[in-house]
């Protein structure tokens, strides 16, 4: 009887397994048939298009268009990049290349110099903003894409290239023979706004951003003659870039202990996409107050930095709502050298917030305001009590001013003063840093 029950149970289990396997095989067959049906449909559309379209169709154009259309149906950030665009992107993110040092643009179909980069062959040769580059090594630029023109000008350091320039105000074309050099683009700008208070802007997260950022912090402290009293980290119009560099920047301010080291986490569908990126335990920046400036142009990696510092209460976020790009793109090199940028995960701030299509909300919202034009009439002078006839004298006024307990602050750098006068968000950030330090001093 016992053996009969065992045999019956085994038969039932085998029957269940058989049903499950049959169901799985049926589903796989359905998916395979579905995929095969769509592939047949695609082949039919391609064949009909090649046969009946009003003009002869280029096969490469048709296939790349199909790939781009497929990726565009997923999200705005997944894209296919031909080898030239892919290599250009890698060079851009490296922040270092052999070239001339010219920021280019187009105007009315003409290749124009937006600005020469300081201390580069183009800058030293006298290339000017507004110059029209009409030939490169004797070949016209008219009708040539800007990427192809960039490729012509870049090359091995030490080799030469000749630019034909048309400049407003000159009758004859100008010719410049330039020798290519290593051009390093700078993504980090730093300066002391006034003693103790520093500005540090990051335009994009490139391969050397983290290293340059750490070096800039050291230089600022040295120029200040000691630790800073406050820092403004400007991430406005920063479109993002390399995730590891955003983590390295954030690492300078968080992660003193085991419990507060999470910077960002990612979650996706494929194996290995669920990750947690942590700060290194070790020496960090002193706990001076920080204001991070963001706006609608702050996206991706810059939002990771802002979100992490906000969640860890390490900085006050000021400005306007950020862009809201909370997805991670993986770069895949295809067998033919082209590139595939594919969205593979979403990222989350340390508190678990997803900012996808939402962005980082500032702690203090400050809209950027253009400085109003000064009126033509002269401003009336302010009148105070001491200006009135017959005003009472101050009672108990000391005969001599007491000696200052601290040396007077050095005057603002003229360039910093001009920047503050034109940038109300920057000025508000500086005022907040000063206010925090005054409050701390008053509570001691």
Domains and CATH numbers, the chain: 38-70 (no CATH), 97-184 (2.30.42.10), 188-365 (3.90.226.10)
Mean pLDDT of 400-417: 58
Report the share of the chain in percent with pLDDT over 70: 86
Q: Is the pLDDT of residue 24 over 70?
A: no
Q: What pLDDT score does 283 carry? A: 87
pLDDT band at 148; cut points 50, 70, 90:
confident
Q: What pLDDT score does 366 carry? A: 98
* Burial tier of 180 (Cβ tally within 10 Å: 0-12, 13-18, 19+): buried
Q: What pLDDT score does 394 carry? A: 74
The model's pTM? 0.81
Q: Is the pLDDT of residue 41 over 80?
A: yes
Q: Is the pLDDT of residue 242 over 60?
A: yes
Residue 64 structure tokens: 């790349």
pLDDT band at 92; cut points 50, 70, 90:
confident
User: What are the residues whose beta carbons fall under 8 Å from the beta carbon of 106, sequence distance 6 or more?
Assistant: 112, 146
Q: Is the pLDDT of residue 354 over 60?
A: yes
* Distance between CA atoms of residues 67 and 61, nearest Å: 10
* CA triple 277-280-284, angle to 5 deg: 125
Q: What pLDDT score does 180 carry? A: 95
* Burial tier of 283 (Cβ tally within 10 Å: 0-12, 13-18, 19+): exposed
Helix (H), strand (E) counts: the chain: 10, 19
Q: What pLDDT score does 5 carry? A: 59
User: Which stretch of DSSP H or E encloses residue 415?
Assistant: helix 414-422
Q: What pLDDT score does 411 carry? A: 57
Of the candidates 443, 238, 366, 53, the one whose C-alpha atom is nearest the C-alpha of residue 65 is 53
Residue 379 structure tokens: 């401003």
**In the predicted model, what is the mean pLDDT of the chain?**
87
Q: Is the pLDDT of residue 350 over 90?
A: yes
Q: What pLDDT score does 29 carry? A: 54
Q: Which residues are catalytic?
A: 300, 311, 325
Report whether 266 contacts 326 (CB < 8 A): no
Mean pLDDT of 157-185: 94
Mean pLDDT of 191-216: 96
pLDDT band at 328; cut points 50, 70, 90:
very high
């Amino acid at each position: 009887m016992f053996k009969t029950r065992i045999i019956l149970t085994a038969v039932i289990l085998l029957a269940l397994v058989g049903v499950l396997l049959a169901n799985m095989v049926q589903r796989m067959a359905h998916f395979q048939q579905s995929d095969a049906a769509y592939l047949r449909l695609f082949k039919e559309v391609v064949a009909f298009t090649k046969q009946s379209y009003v003009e002869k169709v280029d096969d490469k154009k048709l296939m790349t268009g199909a790939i781009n259309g497929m990726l565009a149906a997923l999200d705005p950030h997944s894209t296919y990049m031909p080898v030239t665009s892919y290599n250009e992107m890698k060079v851009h993110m490296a922040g270092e290349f052999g070239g001339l040092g010219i920021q280019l643009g187009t105007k009315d179909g003409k290749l124009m110099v937006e600005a020469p980069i300081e201390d580069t062959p183009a800058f030293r040769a006298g290339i000017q903003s507004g110059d029209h580059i009409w030939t490169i090594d004797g070949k016209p630029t008219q009708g040539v894409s800007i990427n192809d023109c960039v490729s012509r000008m870049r090359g091995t350091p030490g080799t030469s290239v000749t630019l034909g320039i048309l400049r407003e105000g000159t009758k004859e074309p100008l010719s410049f023979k330039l020798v290519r050099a290593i051009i390093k683009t700078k993504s980090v700008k730093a300066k002391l706004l006034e003693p103790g208070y520093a500005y540090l802007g990051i335009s994009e997260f490139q391969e050397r951003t983290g290293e340059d950022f750490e070096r800039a912090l050291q230089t600022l402290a040295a120029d200040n003659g000691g630790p800073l009293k406050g820092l403004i980290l400007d991430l406005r119009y920063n479109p993002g870039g390399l995730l590891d560099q955003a983590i390295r920047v954030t690492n300078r301010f968080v992660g003193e202990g085991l419990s507060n080291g999470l910077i960002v986490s990612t979650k996706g569908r494929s194996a290995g996409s669920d990750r947690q990126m942590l700060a290194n335990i070790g020496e960090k920046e002193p706990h001076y107050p920080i204001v991070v400036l963001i706006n609608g142009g702050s996206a991706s990696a810059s939002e990771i930095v802002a979100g992490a510092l906000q969640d860890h209460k390490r900085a006050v976020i000021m400005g306007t709502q950020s862009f809201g790009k909370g997805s991670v793109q993986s770069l895949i090199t295809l067998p033919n050298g082209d590139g595939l940028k594919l969205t593979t995960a979403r990222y989350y701030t340390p508190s678990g917030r997803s900012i996808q299509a939402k962005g980082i909300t500032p702690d203090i919202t400050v809209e950027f305001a253009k400085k109003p034009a000064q009126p033509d009439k002269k401003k009336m002078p302010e009148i105070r009590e001491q200006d009135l006839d017959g005003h009472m004298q101050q009672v108990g006024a000391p005969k001599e001013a007491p000696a200052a307990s601290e040396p007077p602050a050095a005057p603002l750098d003229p360039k910093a003063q001009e920047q503050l006068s034109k940038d109300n968000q920057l000025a508000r950030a500086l005022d907040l840093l000063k206010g925090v330090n005054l409050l701390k001093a008053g509570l001691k």
